[in-house]
A and B are shown apart, each in its own frame.
Chain A
C-alpha cells in the first residue's frame, strides 16, 4: 500500500498532466475564455519554475525574472514579425530566443556572481529596470508602448494532413492550450530530472554551504552561473509562448517589476525549491485574481444590491491581500504551502 502511495507521490505529475490533457474534451468552457486563462496560467507556471531554479534551488534572490520573460517575448517577436527581415519559423525563433536569453543571463551573471546575496538582488532589480526602460524607449526596435505585432502563430504556413497549422492555432484556442501544456510538462519533467542530477545537487549544495561545496570540488561560480542561465532560458521559453499566444508582445509593462514580484510571491507562497509547490503557488495567486476576486465581488454586489465601489470593493484590496498573505506565510509557514522536504527541515531546524 505504502509503495503505491510513494509511487504516486513521486509521479503525481503524470496523472495531473493526463487529466489536464483530457480536460478540453470534457469541459466545454475550456474552449472559450477560460481556456485562454488556463493557457496563461500554464505560461506563468513555466516562468515561476524558471525563477525557482535561482531562488529555490540555488538560494539567490532574483527580483528581475520578468526581464528575461520580456527578452524571450521580444526576441521571438523580432525574429518573426513582418516588420523585420528575419521572419523565421516558430520553432527556430523559440530556440534562438531561449539561447539569446540564456546568453544574456550568462553575461549578467559573470561579473555579478561574486556579489553577496543582497547586493545581487539589487543588481537583478536594476537589470529589470534597465530592460523595461530599453523596451519602452527603443521605439525603432521594440515598438515602444505599442509593442511588436503581429507575432504569427506557431506553424504558420506549415500544413499537416491538409490542415494549415497556423490557421488551426488561430481558429481553435485549444491548440495553444495543448502547446503550452506540453511545454509545461516538458519543463516539469526537466526540473524533476534536474533535482536529482549532478547539477541540481550542486545548486542545493551551494545554497546550503558554499564553502563546504567548494571543498568538495564544486565551483560556486560555475554552479551559480548555470542556475542564472537556466532560469533565464526557462523564463524566455515562457516569454515566447506568451508572445505567440497573444500574437503581440503587449506593452512593456507586462515585463515590469510588478510581474517579477508576483511570480516571486507565487514561488515563495507555494514552497521554495519544490516543483509542485511552485505550480500550486502560481495557481493560487492567478486563480485568486481571475476567479475568486470577481466571484466575491459579485457576491457582495448581490448582498448590497448595488455594485460596491472604492474602499468597499473587495477587489480593490487585491494588492493588500497578496501582501498580507506574504507576511502571514513568512510568519507562520516560511517554507511555503508545499515545501521541498529538505528545505522545510532546514527552516524548521533553524527556528528551534
Chain B
C-alpha cells in the first residue's frame, strides 16, 4: 500500500521532469528544490490556516483547508517555475545542451540557500491535521487518512494532467513541440507559450506534491529537494524520458521498490535498490520502459 501512495507522489514530481524534458530536452535539476521551497511555503501557511495536529478525524473545514493549501502552493510553485524559466533557461534556448542543465544545478543551489534561511538547517516537523489511525477494519493492510489524502488529491491531479495533455488544444501543442520543435513552430504553434505553460503545469504538480509530502512524511528540510528529485528523476528515466505514461509507471515501480526494500532490508538501502533496478532495466531497455528509441540529440 505504502508503495502505491509513495509511487503516486513520486509520479506527480516525475511528470514535471518528463514534461520539461519532452519540450526542452534537458533534465530540470532545479525542479526538486523548487518543490522544497513550495514545501517551506506550505509549512509557513499551515499554522495561520488553522491546520494543526488534533488527533481527531478531520472535519470538512480541514479538507477545504488542505485543498486550498494544495492549490495555493501549486500556483506558487508553478509561477516560480515560470519565472525561473524566463530568467534562466529562456536565454539559453539555442545554447549547447550542457548549459541549461548546469544552470539548473545553479538554480537548485540558490533555492537550497533560500530554503535554509526560510526554515533553518534542522528538519522541521510538519503539522498532522490527519490522524494516523488505520481506516480499514482488518489490520493486514494499512490504509490511513494520509493514504486517503493521496487518493483524493494526488490521483485526481495525475488523471487531470494526463487528460489535459491528451485531450486539450494545449496538450496537442505540447505533444507537437515534444515531437519536433521547429516543425511545431512552422505549423503555427507558439513554442514559447507552450514551454511557459509546461513549466507552469510541472510546477503546479510539484507544488501540490510538496503539500502532500509534508502532510504524509511529517518532516521537511531544506535538503529534501535532492531526495524528492532523485526518486522522481530515476522514475522518469526508468519509464523513458519524455513519456508521460512511462513516468507514471516508473514512479509506481520506484515506489514499490522503495517500499519493498524498506520493509525487508531497511529504509537506508532504499536508494541503492532503486539504482540497481534502474541499472537492470536500462541494460535491457536503454530507452526506458516506454521511451521511444530516439536519435541522439546533439
Q: Give A contacts to B, CB under 8 Å.
A: 61, 111-112, 114-119, 121-123, 125-127, 129-130, 133-134, 136-137, 209-210, 257, 261, 264-265, 268, 272, 310-311, 316-320, 322-327, 329-331, 334, 347, 350-351
7 further A-B contacts with Cβ under 8 Å, apart from A326-B102, A330-B106, A350-B94, are: A112-B279, A119-B282, A129-B272, A137-B272, A261-B105, A319-B116, A327-B106
Known A-B contacts A126-B278, A133-B272; the reply to A350 vs B107 at CB < 8 A is no
Instruction: Across the interface, name the chain A residue whose C-beta is closest to B110.
Output: A323
- Could you tell me the distance in whole angstroms from the C-beta of B269 to the nearest C-beta in chain A? 6
Say if the beta carbon of B275 comes within 8 Å of chain A. Answer: yes
C-alpha spacing A200/B275, complex, angstroms: 31
23 A-B pairs whose Cβ atoms sit less than 8 Å apart in the complex: A61-B98, A111-B279, A111-B282, A111-B283, A115-B286, A116-B297, A118-B237, A119-B237, A123-B282, A125-B233, A126-B234, A127-B275, A130-B276, A137-B266, A319-B116, A320-B110, A320-B113, A323-B105, A323-B108, A327-B106, A330-B103, A334-B98, A350-B96
C-alpha spacing A265/B103, complex, angstroms: 10
- Specify which of A61, A310, A327 is in contact with B107 (CB 8 Å cutoff): A327
Are B91 and A331 in contact, with the CB atoms below 8 A? yes
Are A133 and B101 in contact, with the CB atoms below 8 A? no
C-alpha spacing A323/B97, complex, angstroms: 18
Are B109 and A326 in contact, with the CB atoms below 8 A? yes
Are A319 and B95 in contact, with the CB atoms below 8 A? no
Are B105 and A316 in contact, with the CB atoms below 8 A? no
Instruction: Across the interface, name the chain B residue whose C-beta is closest to A59.
Output: B98
Residue of A112, A116, A123, A323 with highest tally of chain B CB at under 10 A: A323
- B75-117 near A? 1/0 per residue, CB < 8 Å: 0000000000000100110111111111101111111111011
Q: SS class of chain A's interface: helix, strand, loop or mixed? A: helix
For A121, list chain B residues within 8 Å (CB). Answer: 27, 101
Tell me the B260-298 residues at the A interface (CB within 8 Å): 266, 268-269, 271-272, 274-276, 278-279, 282-283, 286-288, 294, 296-298
Residue of A316, A320, A325, A327 with highest tally of chain B CB at under 10 A: A327
- Specify which of B27, B112, B269, B286 is in contact with A137 (CB 8 Å cutoff): B269
For B234, list chain A residues within 8 Å (CB). Answer: 122, 126
Instruction: Across the interface, name the chain B residue whose C-beta is closest to A261.
Output: B105
| The 5 A-B residue pairs with the shortest CB-CB distance in the complex, in nearest-first order | A323-B109, A326-B106, A320-B113, A126-B275, A323-B110
- Could you tell me the distance in whole angstroms from the C-beta of B126 to the nearest C-beta in chain A? 22
Are A351 and B109 in contact, with the CB atoms below 8 A? no
Say if the beta carbon of B143 comes within 8 Å of chain A. Answer: no
Say if the beta carbon of B170 comes within 8 Å of chain A. Answer: no
Say if the beta carbon of B145 comes within 8 Å of chain A. Answer: no
C-alpha spacing A316/B117, complex, angstroms: 8
C-alpha spacing A82/B247, complex, angstroms: 48
Are A334 and B113 in contact, with the CB atoms below 8 A? no
For A322, list chain B residues within 8 Å (CB). Answer: 106, 109
